[in-house]
Amino acid sequence: MGMTFTGQVAVVTGAGAGIGRATALAFAGEGLKVVVADLDVTGGECTVEQIKAVGGSAVFVRCDVTVEEQVKQLMEQVISYYGRLDYAFNNAGIEIEQGRLADGTMDEFDAIMGVNVKGVWLCMKYQLPLMLAQGGGAIVNTASVAGLGAAPKMSIYSASKHAVIGLTKSAAIEYAKKHIRVNAVCPAVIDTDMFRRAHEADPRKAEFAAAIHPVGRIGKVEEVASAVLYLCSDGAGFTTGHSLAIDGGALAI
């Protein structure tokens, strides 16, 4: 069974680059109208331009997912522009911590939890009523393989992604009989601008990142996007509350 869609509109947060941009482009490639949300105006508008360049329909809305009023307004604008919301990919997230647990700071904790947990919770809080009103929908949240196990020297980040999985599973059960499916993707190391910036000064770290995956390489943003589309599609109609590892076999070891 292919990835078939019955809805018309998707919203993607963190869509100004990387996994978010790739997924917004993938949604548009399936004929969906896309609301591109990001704090980065230049990146978000670039994503919209790329979608329009191939004949798709998209609009950009600047949104800080940690601010409730901005998230509320984002969802209101989704309805204002396109009249409905069928699919949501809550992808906005940050990864800024590199140290042992006892060396972490309150600023790091608040920033990571604010975007990665509060942001996902706020997005679902305002997406779910829209989907309830129209009789169904599908939500995918970005977690991480760090949310499925330990992540030494990234304990706050790991905790935030465990929390995303908890939110995902709880919402999936709460809304299962309302025809709303909620799942998560759990990428390992993916080739994004963030990854390149973090490793440009030391290529050996990039080589190590590739080596931790049994397939011998890091992942591609398009591979995560394909998983998101599958989880939103009718082909995954019996899948909810699932955390899909996209890890090149890393968790199988």
Say how many domains are in the chain.
Answer: 1
Q: What is the pLDDT of residue 3?
A: 73
Residue 204 lies in a domain: no
Residue 101 lies in a domain: yes
In a domain, 201, yes or no: no
Would you say residue 207 lies in a domain?
A: no
Task: Give the pLDDT of residue 2.
Answer: 59
User: Could you tell me which of 67, 69, 129, 109 has the C-alpha nearest to residue 92?
Assistant: 67
Host domain of residue 74: 9-189+220-248
As annotated, the active-site residues are 157
**Would residue 130 count as lying in a domain?**
yes
The reply to whether 126 falls in a domain is yes
How many helices and strands, by DSSP H and E, does the chain display? 9, 7
What residues contact 83, with CB distance under 8 A and at least 6 apart?
9
**What is the pLDDT at residue 95?**
85
Taking CB atoms within 8 Å and a gap of at least 24, the contacts of 71-78 are: 71/119, 71/122, 71/123, 71/125, 71/126, 72/126, 74/11, 74/35, 74/37, 74/126, 75/11, 75/126, 75/127, 75/130, 77/35, 78/9, 78/11, 78/35, 78/130
| Model confidence pLDDT, tens digit, residues 71-84 | 999 999 999 999 99
Q: What is the pLDDT of residue 201?
A: 64
Distance between CA 77 and CA 135 in Å, rounded? 20
Instruction: Identify the pLDDT of residue 210.
Output: 86
Mark the ranges of the chain whose per-residue pLDDT is less than 50: 1
The domain that contains 240 carries what CATH number? 3.40.50.720
Per-residue pLDDT of 136-165, as tens digits, reads 999 999 999 999 999 999 999 999 999 999
> What pLDDT sits at residue 194?
74
